[in-house]
Amino acid sequence: MMEVRSGSFADRFQAVTLLRQAHAAAGSTFRFEAARADLVYRQHLDNPQACALVLDDGGTAHGLLLAAAFDHPFGAGLYAKETVWFIAPQARGRGGLKMLDAYEAWARTIGCAAIGMAALSTNDVSRLYQRRGYSAAETHFLKHL
């Protein structure tokens, strides 16, 4: 049975695997760097203003949600922003909603006034976010130089 739990150092290698899959699923045109992915994961473990959540089934992480909180630059208070959210295709289902619940609970616990999620152009889940009470705030564009 899938459960959401806090990530741990022991999840590092599976987290890097999931980050590699997320990179590919996003259609990223730049090279994936495992060492950088490992660093990003460990930074989310070590930072008290960040969270690393995993979707676990039998001790193996099948999903990953990383987020960090910071003071909003325009004075909206403490704001949590998703760094990455990815669930392996074979593990998708209700576990994603449990991950969002855990993310929202974490953000409330540390005193966030608002939280944000992103939707990739390759996997637009904006309708899910809207059903959960999120509203569109920005559209981002990327140009490689």
| Each residue's pLDDT tens digit, 12-64 | 999 999 999 999 988 888 899 999 999 999 999 999 999 999 999 999 999 99
139 inside domain: no
57 inside domain: yes
* pLDDT confidence bin for 75, thresholds 50/70/90: confident
The 10s digit of each residue's pLDDT in 9-19 is 999 999 999 99
51 inside domain: yes
Number of domains in the chain: 1
CATH number for the domain that contains residue 13: 3.40.630.30
Residue-level pLDDT at 76: 81
136 inside domain: no
Q: pTM (2 decimals)?
A: 0.91
Residue-level pLDDT at 121: 67
How far apart CA 61 and CA 99 sit, in angstroms, is: 12
Residues with Cβ within 8 Å of 71's Cβ and at least 6 positions away in sequence, in order, are 77, 78, 79
Q: Which domain holds residue 53?
A: 3-131
DSSP the chain: --EEEE--GGGHHHHHHHHHHHHHHTT--SPP-HHHHHHHHHHHHH-TTEEEEEEEETTEEEEEEEEEEEE-TTS--EEEEEEEEEE-GGG-STHHHHHHHHHHHHHHHTT-SEEE---BTTB--HHHHHHTT------------
137 inside domain: no
23 inside domain: yes
**Residue 84 reports pLDDT greater than 80:** yes
Instruction: List the one residue out of 113, 109, 82, 110 whose CA is nearest residue 96.
Output: 82
143 inside domain: no
32 inside domain: yes
Residue-level pLDDT at 1: 83
